[in-house]
Amino acid sequence: MFAVPENTVAGADTPPTVHPALIARQYAEDRSRWAHLLRYDPDERYAVLVHHTADQEVWLMSWLPGQRTDPHDHGPATGAFTVVSGELTEHVLRDGRTHTLVAGQSRVFAPGYGHEVRNEGRDPAVSLHVYRGVRTMNSYPRTDPAHLRRAS
């Protein structure tokens, strides 16, 4: 059993199509909305804003093999990401678990959710990320073992 933070659960009055994971999947399925923005950067993970409203942002990211984020959280924002192609590995800072995601799979996050995402595969990966609320990026040093136990 696991606990789901209240701010990541859609209320009864919220249409199910507005959940961040569903929005990410809808964007993933409609390549015409973002294919023209896709690029690969040999030096770092590529990220570009696809769409934004007053309530949310949708980002496209591409990952060449070996590219990764630093350990981080998104401050008070909630959201989700969906793998469009390739394979991504997420390391959750709070519990040390690792999740490997392939095309069509998603992960949801709550405020303060610390993680690190990387492409450990042999092929490039593409993902779509939806952020709700004020998004800030709080990075943690890779060499600091305290980040592994920081509360999510």
What are 106-140's pLDDT values in tens digits? 999 999 999 999 999 999 999 999 999 877 888 88
| pLDDT, averaged across the chain | 85
Q: Which domains does the chain have, with CATH numbers?
A: 46-137 (2.60.120.10)
Determine if residue 72 is labeled as part of a ligand binding site: yes
Determine if residue 36 is labeled as part of a ligand binding site: no
Report the Cα 9 to chain-centroid distance in Å: 17
pTM of the model: 0.82
Q: What pLDDT does residue 2 have?
A: 40
Q: What pLDDT does residue 16 have?
A: 53
What are the angstrom distances between the C-alpha of 15 and each of 49, 61, 83, 138? 24, 27, 23, 31
Determine if residue 91 is labeled as part of a ligand binding site: no
Q: Which of 59, 63, 66 is nearest to 137 (CA)?
A: 59
